Amino acid sequence: MDANRKAVIIKEIQYWKDKNLLPSVYCDFLLALYTEGNGTEDDESESGNAQSIWLKFDAIFLLLLVPFSFLITHFTEFTLGLQIGFALFFLLIDLLHYYVFYKKKLFYAHIALISSMLILLITSVSIISEMTLHNIWIYISILMNGLIWFIVGYLYKYKYLLATSFVNVLLVCFFIMWNR
């Protein structure tokens, strides 16, 4: 059959399907018949929508790792080693997601990166606060996290990480001055 004629027939069947002139089951059968089982752009957009929904659920999961790490480090009776283990596991999940999303050039890479930075901050402050009673070590830990944010922001040209690292330094300086 002529390619132009086949394209016109496929377009007409899609019109029938969109306007409900024929049941969608019949339209799907005819589309499969005329496209020789290759499908159409509508099939690809439906799979794209499903992928988009899974990406959103994945992003929500990554964001939920932050409060989970906070809960594990502050409100459980787990030993320090187990808390560190959970935090490292959450960090590994975040960093693997960041790697995959970054390679695919998806916006969700930023969510994974922010989540991993916050988990690192929460965990390091929790560990330092359990190991020592001096606030200066907590401030140093927060400043080190800010330094990591600055380095990553500088290397990857993420302005939001550069800005948060400067705000981090300002807030720590403010708290040091306030507590003197």
Domain ranges, ordered by start, for the chain: 3-34, 51-124, 132-180
Question: pTM of the entire structure?
Answer: 0.71
* Measured CA distances, 39 to 9, 16, 44 (Å): 14, 16, 8
Token code pair at residue 70: 């906070």
Q: What is d(CA 176, CA 73) in angstroms, rounded to the nearest whole number? A: 24
Token code pair at residue 15: 């019109």
The one-character DSSP state at 75 is S
* Measured CA distances, 71 to 56, 83, 91, 126, 150 (Å): 23, 10, 15, 11, 27
Q: Which residues contact 137 (CB under 8 A, 6 or more apart)?
A: 128, 131
Q: How far is residue 83 CA from its own chain's centroid?
A: 22
Q: What is d(CA 152, CA 172) in angstroms, rounded to the nearest whole number? A: 20
The residue among 86, 146, 99 whose CA lies nearest residue 118 is 146
Q: What is d(CA 18, CA 6) in angstroms, rounded to the nearest whole number? A: 18
- 3-state per-residue secondary structure call for 39-60: CCHHHHHHHHHHHHHHHHHHHH
Q: How many CA atoms lie within 13 A of 31 on its CB side?
A: 21
pLDDT in tens, the chain (180 residues): 677 888 888 888 888 888 888 888 888 888 888 887 776 555 545 556 777 888 899 999 999 999 999 999 988 888 999 999 999 999 999 999 999 999 988 899 999 999 999 999 999 999 999 888 888 999 999 999 999 999 999 999 999 999 999 999 999 999 889 887
